[in-house]
């Protein structure tokens, strides 16, 4: 690498102290930026603007971590005990159990690892759909490129909402404020300047740093540090990656594992001691303890849950909702309040100028009547959007963009900006509700251009422009302007007012302006918004619209999209009212079924979120701007628009690629379905625990020949149950899933009702079927009560085969009943979930293989049996179906007793 290349790639640490001329010389660059060829050369020398994540776990470490859960440790312990049993008494089949348990642990860990790895890849691919971009000056033109392509010497443009891509020295600022908290931890955004204000580079105001966020204003900077040579890159190389926080569903699963494992250990130890006291046979009771542990552990649970979440995230991605973390899918299901923006979410984000009013009256916008020259000056110069070739034709704020598109039909935008260069900008402030710029005219004078909320602008004006002449603005004229503004707002238009005045200095002016006119922009409602809001209301979810528009405009849009009805006016709260309301007063007004917030600043969203949460609501908050980030972070679920700022997308839990409100509703439905499905397959796999445990208890307490061995338990848990359980993970939501209230936040995956249904109703029926088939074989084969049978006795082998077959027959019925929680299974089409049919086919094939294949007979200690013994289980399977249908019927009829004890 050349000395020049070395110098270009690395900062010297004093870039804040030297002059801009020295910076340009050092970087071999100019304020006009680099050429594309030079940028490519520098990427070849210095590399791309990326740095390696420190503390990132290797694939091997991630794989080994799959064996840390309690289930795996229990099964490993069981495998070790089986190896010991084989060593103490060879030839009894314990070696098969040991190998099987070890194989289960490896398969389980590997499958879960593969699913999580694929999920990570999916999440990474989602991020690539929205790569961070930045604007640079290349070849003398402003270009938008990937942030990774930035090189030292590049001149970048900074605007509100940008995430700064690399370290740079400022060469131009307009009221630029930057949030340096990712590096310094200082929460208050800092005003930037061109001067060196501090010897510490991190405290100096003429610097911007990679990873920090532009809060307000705009500016330009020359890049001197990229990738690992940035301040944040150096911090990353010194800091280990922080450990992730468990999501609610992950905590739920951990609790579930602990409960089930505790039951397994307790039963294993208790009955080992009881058996040892009764029979005093150490080895037999050791095998028994292994069986109890294996019978209680649902080996397929973790991979099934991971797969369910992964499939849900893929389905949501197809519906334009990107979940940043798999487990967040489930959080959506408990949403009770959605706080949503209007623009682009409830509307189409196709803002266009619909009407223009000046002091001389309305213009014929449809026939392209030419607006006053001064109107165009303000619309173009007092504007931070820019025109682009791609749809919708502009980049930036939709209202400002629509003004540029409208103005471009009458004048050359670029020429006007060149002729009237800005000297100073006072960016839009949500409190002041206006934006003001000072510019230089071709004659050398200065003018101040103003645009903002009509009621604010009118108050700042002393004159009005009528037919090109300035006239005094009297009270009658003021009232007339206010009436015209309200008339436009009632049509659902977002109205901006325009004004100008002569300027003697670069200061911000508060009065003395000349009123020019109003521009009314319309953003058509999304056609699907009304239906989506109706679905929310049916689902018990309150939809709250938050907008910066005038209350009249807000009320009009709310009625158009179905947020309110004609019978009752919405609870309309303005930003100024919100400031004055006490916590108690606000809580009272939030109880209204229909709420609209108007003239609300993004900062006030946080107060709204906290107020709802204090009332016990689960809040989903949408946003797209920098100031929306705190509210989204504090909400239970933050949702960012795909077209929003980098800051908003980073703060969110979910990103909407299409900015569509209906997508949020679809995602909530998916979240409810996921939670339901996880409960369904938990209830399904727990049911078979009872017919797996009771044989060992009967073996100890009743001195029966062991009705089912460990090998057959594993055949159920990791053979016949797996595909049916996975089929429940892809089950579509029940018909009424969006017609019932949101589930309580405290509702658990494993509830007493789930345990009572699985362990108290379904499980005992399956066990009864197993014992009925088992005793039918024994008694018909001449067995008498109390007679012990060796494991190699053909009669014993047939008896345990019959028990196993009975459990499989009942589990086939169980997978059908588990497809719904409330709805009758008879309303579900047999072919609506083809994977269930595949699961049943797999159960029957495994059953046939274990009964009739000689090799399987050797491993599982089974023998061929007559079909008449298997058919004994059919009435029990039908009984299971009938009782579960009665349970669901009682729930639908709101039976208090059934809901309390059996609704899960």
Rg (CA), the chain: 35
Q: What's 425's DSSP letter?
A: E
- pTM greater than 0.85: no
The pLDDT value given to residue 608: 92
Instruction: Note the pLDDT tens digit of each residue in 538-590.
Output: 999 999 999 888 888 888 888 888 888 666 678 899 988 998 988 889 989 99
Strands (E), 118-243: 133-138, 141-146, 155-159, 167-179, 190-191, 207-208, 213-225
Percent of the chain at pLDDT above 90?
38
Q: Please list the helix, strand and coil fractions of the chain in percent, rounded to the nearest 5, in that order.
A: 50, 15, 30
The pLDDT value given to residue 244: 41
CA 868 to chain centre: 53
The pLDDT value given to residue 56: 60
Which residues are 321's β-sheet partners?
Answer: 656
Instruction: Provide the pLDDT confidence category of residue 822 given band limits of 50, 70 and 90.
Output: confident
Average pLDDT over residues 729-749: 80
871 Cβ neighbours under 8 A, 6+ residues apart: none
Cα torsion 350, 354, 359, 364 to 10°: value is 140
Does the pLDDT at position 241 exceed 70? no
Sign of CA dihedral 849, 855, 857, 859: negative
Q: Exposure string (b/e) for 378-405, b if CB count within 10 Å is 16 or more? A: bbbbbbbbbeeeeebbbbbbbbbbbbbb
DSSP string, 252-285: HHHHHHHHHHHHHHHHHHHHHHHHHHHH--HHHH
Does the pLDDT at position 903 exceed 70? no
Which two three-digit tokens encode residue 892? 């639908």
CA distance 41 to 64: 43
Q: Contact, 521 vs 353, CB < 8 A?
A: yes
The pLDDT value given to residue 650: 73
Instruction: Note the pLDDT tens digit of each residue in 555-569.
Output: 888 888 888 866 667
DSSP string, 199-220: SSTTT-TTEE-TT-EEEEEEEE
Q: Phi and psi at residue 493, in whole multiples of 5°? A: -85, 140
Region of residue 247 (left: phi > 0; alpha: psi -120 to 50; beta: else): beta
Taking alpha carbons only, the member of 10, 46, 220 closest to residue 136 is 220
Does the pLDDT at position 3 exceed 60? no
Which has the higher per-residue pLDDT, 439 or 391?
439
Highest mean pLDDT among 255-264, 651-660, 786-795 belongs to 786-795
Taking alpha carbons only, the member of 240, 238, 237 closest to residue 55 is 240
Does the pLDDT at position 536 exceed 80? yes
Taking alpha carbons only, the member of 715, 714, 696, 692 closest to residue 705 is 696
- The helix (H) or strand (E) run that includes residue 435 is strand 434-440
Distance in angstroms between the alpha carbons of the first and the last residue of the chain: 67
The pLDDT value given to residue 505: 92
Instruction: Provide the pLDDT confidence category of residue 5 given band limits of 50, 70 and 90.
Output: very low
Does the pLDDT at position 343 exceed 80? no
Does the pLDDT at position 145 exceed 70? yes
DSSP string, 29-77: --TT-B-HHHHHHHHHHH--S--PPTTPPPHHHHHHGGG-SHHHHHHHH
The pLDDT value given to residue 243: 39
**Residues annotated as part of the active site:** 341
CA distance 638 to 561: 22
Instruction: Provide the pLDDT confidence category of residue 170 given band limits of 50, 70 and 90.
Output: very high
Does the pLDDT at position 308 exceed 80? no
Taking alpha carbons only, the member of 244, 293, 37 closest to residue 151 is 37
Instruction: Note the pLDDT tens digit of each residue in 91-141.
Output: 766 787 788 778 878 877 787 777 667 656 655 555 555 567 899 999 989
Q: Contact, 142 vs 135, CB < 8 A?
A: yes
CA distance 251 to 253: 5
Average pLDDT over residues 627-653: 79
Highest mean pLDDT among 316-330, 405-419, 614-628, 658-672 belongs to 405-419
Q: Contact, 521 vs 579, CB < 8 A?
A: no
DSSP string, 471-531: EE--HHHHHHHHHHHHHHHHTT-EEEEEEEEEESSSSPP-S-EEEEEEEEEE-PBPTTHHH
Sign of CA dihedral 411, 414, 415, 421: positive
Instruction: Provide the pLDDT confidence category of residue 4 given band limits of 50, 70 and 90.
Output: very low
Instruction: Provide the pLDDT confidence category of residue 898 given band limits of 50, 70 and 90.
Output: low
CA distance 346 to 459: 31
CA distance 532 to 321: 15
* Burial (CB count within 10 angstroms: exposed 0-12, middle 13-18, buried 19+), residue 351: buried
Across 118-127, 223-232, 268-277, least confident range: 118-127
Does the pLDDT at position 7 exceed 60? no
The pLDDT value given to residue 464: 96
């Amino acid at each position: 690498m050349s000395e020049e290349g070395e110098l270009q790639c690395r900062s010297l640490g004093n870039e804040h102290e030297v002059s801009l001329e020295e910076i340009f010389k050092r970087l071999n660059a100019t304020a006009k930026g680099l050429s594309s060829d030079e940028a490519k050369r520098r990427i070849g020398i210095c590399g791309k603007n990326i740095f390696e994540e420190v503390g990132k776990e290797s694939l091997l470490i991630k794989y080994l971590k799959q064996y840390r859960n309690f289930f795996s440790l229990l099964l490993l312990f069981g495998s070790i005990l089986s190896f010991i049993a084989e060593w103490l008494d060879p030839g009894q089949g314990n070696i098969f159990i040991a190998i099987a348990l070890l194989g289960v642990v490896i398969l389980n860990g590997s499958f879960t690892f593969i699913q999580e790895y694929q999920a990570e890849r999916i999440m990474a691919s989602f991020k690539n759909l929205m790569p961070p971009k930045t604007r640079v000056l290349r070849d003398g033109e402003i270009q938008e490129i990937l942030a990774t392509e930035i090189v030292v010497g590049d001149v970048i443009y900074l605007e509100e909402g940008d995430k700064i891509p690399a370290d740079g020295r400022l060469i131009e600022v307009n009221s630029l404020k930057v949030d340096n908290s990712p590096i310094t931890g200082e929460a208050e955004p800092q005003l930037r300047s061109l001067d060196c204000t501090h010897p510490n580079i991190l405290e100096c105001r003429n610097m911007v740093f990679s990873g920090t966020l532009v809060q307000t204003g705009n500016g330009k900077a020359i890049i001197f540090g990229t990738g690992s040579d940035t301040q944040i890159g150096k911090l990353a190389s010194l800091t280990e990656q922080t450990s992730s926080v468990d999501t609610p569903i992950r905590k739920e699963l951990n609790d579930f594992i602990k409960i089930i494992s505790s039951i397994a250990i307790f039963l294993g130890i208790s009955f080992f001691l009881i058996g040892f006291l009764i029979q005093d046979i150490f080895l037999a009771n050791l095998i028994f303890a292994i069986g109890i542990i294996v019978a209680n552990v649902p080996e397929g649970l973790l991979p099934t849950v991971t797969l369910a979440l992964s499939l849900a995230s893929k389905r949501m991605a197809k519906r334009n909702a990107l979940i940043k973390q798999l487990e967040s899918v489930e959080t959506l299901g408990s949403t009770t309040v959605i706080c949503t923006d209007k623009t682009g979410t409830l509307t189409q984000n196709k803002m266009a100028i619909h009407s223009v009013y000046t002091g001389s009256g309305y213009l014929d916008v449809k026939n392209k009547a030419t607006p006053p020259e001064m109107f165009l000056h303000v619309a173009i110069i007092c504007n931070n959007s820019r025109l682009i070739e791609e749809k919708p034709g502009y980049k930036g704020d939709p209202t400002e963009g629509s003004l540029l598109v409208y103005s471009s039909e009458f004048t050359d935008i670029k020429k006007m900006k060149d002729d009237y260069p800005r000297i100073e900008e006072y960016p839009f402030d949500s409190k002041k509700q206006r934006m003001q710029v000072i510019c230089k005219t071709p004659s050398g004078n200065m003018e101040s251009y103003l645009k903002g909320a009509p009621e604010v602008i009118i108050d700042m004006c002393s004159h009005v422009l009528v037919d090109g002449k300035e006239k005094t603005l009297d009270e009658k004229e003021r009232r007339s302007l206010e009436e015209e503004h309200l008339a436009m707002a009632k049509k659902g238009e977002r109205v901006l007012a325009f004004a100008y005045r002569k300027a003697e200095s670069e200061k911000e002016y508060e009065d003395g302006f000349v009123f020019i006119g109003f521009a009314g922009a319309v953003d058509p409602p999304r056609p699907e918004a009304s239906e989506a809001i109706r679905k929310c209301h049916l689902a018990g979810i309150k939809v709250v619209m938050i907008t910066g528009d005038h209350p009249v405009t807000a009320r009009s849009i709310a009625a158009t999209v179905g947020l309110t009805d004609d019978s009752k006016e919405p609870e309309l709260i303005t930003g100024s009212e919100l400031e004055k309301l006490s916590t108690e007063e606000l809580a009272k007004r939030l109880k209204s079924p229909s709420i609209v917030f108007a003239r609300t600043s993004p900062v006030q969203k946080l107060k709204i979120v906290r107020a709802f949460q204090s009332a016990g609501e689960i809040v989903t908050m949408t946003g797209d701007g920098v100031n929306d980030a705190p509210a989204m972070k504090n909400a239970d679920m933050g949702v960012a628009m795909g077209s929003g700022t980098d800051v908003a997308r980073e703060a969110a839990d979910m990103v909407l690629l299409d900015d569509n409100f209906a997508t949020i509703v679809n995602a909530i439905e998916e979240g409810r379905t996921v939670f339901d499905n996880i409960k369904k397959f938990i209830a399904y796999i727990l049911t078979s625990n009872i017919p797996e445990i009771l044989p060992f208890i009967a073996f100890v307490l009743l001195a029966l020949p062991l009705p089912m061995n460990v090998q057959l338990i594993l055949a159920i848990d990791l053979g016949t149950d797996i595909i049916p359980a996975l089929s429940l993970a892809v089950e579509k939501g029940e018909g009424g899933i969006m017609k019932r209230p949101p589930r309580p936040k405290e509702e658990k995956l494993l509830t007493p009702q789930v345990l009572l249904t699985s362990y108290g109703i379904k499980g005992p029926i399956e066990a009864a079927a197993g014992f009925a088939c088992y005793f039918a074989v024994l008694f018909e084969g001449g067995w008498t009560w109390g007679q012990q049978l060796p494991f190699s006795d053909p009669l014993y082998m047939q008896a345990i085969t019959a028990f196993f077959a009975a459990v499989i027959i009942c589990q086939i019925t169980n997978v059908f009943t588990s497809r719904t929680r409330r709805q009758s299974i008879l309303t579900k089409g047999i072919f609506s979930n083809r994977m269930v049919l595949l699961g049943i086919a797999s159960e029957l094939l495994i059953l046939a293989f274990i009964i009739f294949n000689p090799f399987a007979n050797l491993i599982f200690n089974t023998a061929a049996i007559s079909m008449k013994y298997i058919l004994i289980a059919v009435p029990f399977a039908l009984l299971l179906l009938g009782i579960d249908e009665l349970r669901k019927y009682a729930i639908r009829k709101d039976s208090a007793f059934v809901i309390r004890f059996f609704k899960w």
